[in-house]
Structures are given as structure tokens and as C-alpha cells.
Chains A and B, each alone.
Chain A
């Protein structure tokens, strides 16, 4: 139980994939203009991350290690991610066509979200059990959701705030992301 808490705290806060490891910044900037779409994107990415962590664990343990093909990790994990994202796309298109419209091009772009590949590769490098590997995936998704939702809520406020003209738009978003990253660095050494 304690291990579960440590994994979650470490992947959500201390080693947050977006703000501490700087992975997955593209959707972090791209889908954070509106809170609603940010929530949808968070849910989709968390789903993809958890599923990818599970499938890539199985692929690594059952196929790559017995055949001594560890050097094929990157390409086979990319295949796993592409398949999982495609599955998620079909799933969302069926269950929530509106969310599908809102996410638009960012849904297939989860494939190129480096946080997803990062989780799979980091999990493969660590001696983890299946449950812990999936928990790392879920924690990475939860951390991504946390910062994306916080950031989009701030950007909604910023869009209406009185910002000096040179800082309007993307500039103030970058500064905000930097300040958030500073804040998350403060979690370092918590565990």
C-alpha cells in the first residue's frame, strides 16, 4: 500500500512528466486554451498512458526479453502506442462524438506525445512488476491531467485578463508554464 502511494506521489508530483521531465509539452500548450477540451484531452491521454504502460510491459517481458531483442524497444513501443491511440480514437468517436470534434487533430497526436513513449521506455528500464508498471502509467496520466487542467484554467483567466500587449497570447502562456514548472520543481526530494 505504501509502495502504491510512493509511486503515485512520485509520478504525479515529483517526477511530473510535463513540468519536471518536460515530456508532452505539445498538447500541454496546444489543448490548454479551453478547460473543457483540456479535461477531455486529460482523460484520453490518461487512458492511453495506462493502456500503453500495460501493453508495452507485456510486449517487453513476453517478446523482447526472451528473444533478446531489447534494441527493438523503441520501435515496438511506438507500434504499441500507435495501436492504443487508434483504439482510443475509435472508442471516443463512438462514445462522445462531441469530444472527438473538440480534440480534433490532437487526438491522433497523442501518438507523438513523448510522455507516452517516455513512460514505456522508463518502465522497461526499471525492474517493475506488471501492477507497478501500470500504476506508473496511470500516475503519469494523472500528473499530466493535473497540470493540464490547472494550466488551462489559468489560461482561461489569462485570456480575459488585462495583459501588457507584448505578453499577450502564447508569450504569457510560456511564462505561466515556466512558473508552474518552478513550483513543481519544489516537490523534488519529497520522497
Chain B
């Protein structure tokens, strides 16, 4: 049998190529099992960059659905709470140019705010509790509610449902705990000659 294969050039060519194909196929099948991936890790990475306000201003029910949509190719400028810094971070992650914030979905707040319930006016209707996407409001029916300031993302979603308008959005006080290193200034251009021109004339040279 083996001698026959060796002596017949066509048969030996067929056997050799089929054998090689089988070996490589088996190896790749093994590798496919070994390097199996569960889920899409890029979605997790995008999700971790989003502010997790779950505010829905992007048009999706929360941050994770929006992250999934970005991974499928949606535009990355729909998140007002995250603002330009989030857009830049996602653009950096996905290696795409960073667009401006889409004004259709809201404007970036200048200062971070937190919800505050004027407790003596609260009637205990629980409507704000149902509206809160991050479960930052405590309370029970006909009892006073209050906001856990550390959990509140400042998304404004609880202000609208309140029937007695007792919720204020207060600016977050900045103290020693919120202090961070100042962001280093970004240079105007890559090389010295750019700094005298406007950068728009170089857009076409990508």
C-alpha cells in the first residue's frame, strides 16, 4: 500500500496535500477550542469608560447597551454626562478620530451636580425612587426620601417626576477629597512649524 503510494506520483501528491490539510485542520480546530472567547471584551472596555449614569440621554436604556452599540459602529459622541473627555477616551480606545459632542442628545454640564431632596417638603410618593437609574434614593411610601450623595450621578432624571418639586440639583462642593492632578496642557501641533498655522489646513493629508 505504502509502496503503491510512493510509486504513483499523482496518488502521492493527493495523499500528501490531503494529509497536510488534515493536520492543519486538526491543529486549527484545537486552537479554536483553546482560544475561545466569551463575549466581546471591547464592549467591557467601552462600558468602563462611560460614566455609568444610566441616564438614557444617548437614546439607549443605559450605558452598557450604548457600549454594545458603539462596538457595532455607532457614533461615540452621544454621551452628555461623560462630555468631551469620555469621547476622547473612547476615540483613543477604538483608534478613531474624536468628534464633538452631539448637541442633539444634550449639553455637557459645566459643573458636576448632585440631587438634594428638601426633606421637610417630601411627601413620600416614591416617584423619584422609580426614576433613579442608579438606585441612589432611599425611602419608602409615605416616608421621607433622601439621596445618597456618593451614589448620585447628577443625571437630573429624578427632578421631573417629583410632584412637589422638592428636588434640587446642587453643585458638588470641591474639597481636598476631589482634588486631582491638573491635566497636562496639550501641545498645539506635533512639530514646531505647525504652531503658527491653523491645524485645519492639514486635514486632507491623512
Contact = CB atoms under 8 A, between A and B. Distances in A.
> Are chains A and B native binding partners rather than an unrelated pairing?
yes
Interface of A: 33-34, 36-37, 59, 63-64, 67-69, 72, 75-76, 79-80, 82-83, 86-87, 90-91, 93-94, 97-98, 101-102, 156-163, 165, 168-169, 172
Given A79-B21, A160-B191, A87 B28 contact: yes
Contacts of A79: 17, 20-21, 24
Q: What range describes how many residues of B lie at the interface?
A: 35 or more
B94 A69 contact: no
Given A63-B20, A75-B17, A83 B205 contact: no
B35 interface: yes
Contacts of A160: 189-191, 194, 202, 205
B193 interface: yes
A86 B6 contact: no
B95 A83 contact: no
Nearest to B5: A67
Contacts of B36: 94
A101 B45 CA distance: 13
B141 interface: no
Contacts of B17: 72, 75-76, 79
A63 B194 CA distance: 59
B35 A90 contact: yes
Contacts of A168: 204-205
A45 B93 CA distance: 23
Nearest 10 CB-CB pairs, A to B? Answer: A83-B24, A94-B35, A160-B190, A90-B35, A168-B205, A97-B41, A67-B12, A102-B95, A90-B31, A87-B31
Interface of B: 6, 9, 12-13, 16-17, 19-21, 24, 27-28, 31-32, 35-37, 40-42, 45, 93-95, 189-191, 193-194, 197, 201-202, 204-206
5 contacts: A59-B20, A67-B6, A93-B35, A94-B36, A97-B41
Given A67-B16, A80-B24, A87-B31, A169 B206 contact: yes
Contacts of A163: 205
A104 B12 CA distance: 38
Given A69-B16, A83-B24, A90-B31, A101 B205 contact: no
A92 to B, nearest CB: 9
Given A67-B16, A83-B27, 19 more contacts: A63-B16, A64-B16, A67-B6, A67-B12, A68-B12, A75-B17, A76-B16, A76-B20, A83-B24, A87-B27, A93-B35, A94-B35, A94-B37, A98-B45, A101-B95, A159-B205, A159-B206, A160-B205, A162-B202
A135 B21 CA distance: 26
Nearest to A82: B24
Given A76-B20, A98-B45, A160-B194, A91 B35 contact: yes
A91 B190 CA distance: 35
Contacts of B206: 33, 159, 169
Nearest to A92: B35
Contacts of B40: 97
B28 A169 contact: no
Contacts of B191: 157, 160-161
A139 to B, nearest CB: 25
